[in-house]
Structure 1
């Protein structure tokens, strides 16, 4: 049972969402490729959350 609870812990996932939308750390290297990668990650996270919202809306209205 303890392994099942550990498997469904979502703190790492939500921690990643918070880290992605924070300001970048000035002490870390900042290249154009890294900025593009983080920008694409932000776009994909927003699209994913929007689609989950649409699916939930359609599920509850039908």
Structure 2
């Protein structure tokens, strides 16, 4: 399984493979990965806002 497929499954873009066994620890790991990806995207948007849009409002 490639990294793009795994990322798509984390973000609920692609359905997961029903043949793969899911343990409780794997569910925890995937949940933590979803949280970290979401936090990364939020911070990335905030940084882009501060770098590109905020200077226009300060003039």
TM-score (norm 2): 0.69
Q: CA deviation at 1:30?
A: 0.7
CA-based RMSD:
1.9
* Greater length-normalized contact order (CA 8 Å, ≥ 6 residues apart): 1
- 2:35 is matched with which residue: 43, 51, 59? 43
**Structure 2 unaligned regions, length at least 5:** none
Counterpart Cα distance in 2 of 1:17 and 1:49: 13
TM-score (norm 1): 0.66
**Structure 1 unaligned regions, length at least 5:** 1-11
Runs of 4+ in 1 over 4 A off after TM superposition: none
Query: How many residues of Structure 1 are paired with residues of Structure 2 in the alignment?
Result: 50
SS for the counterpart of 2:17 is: coil
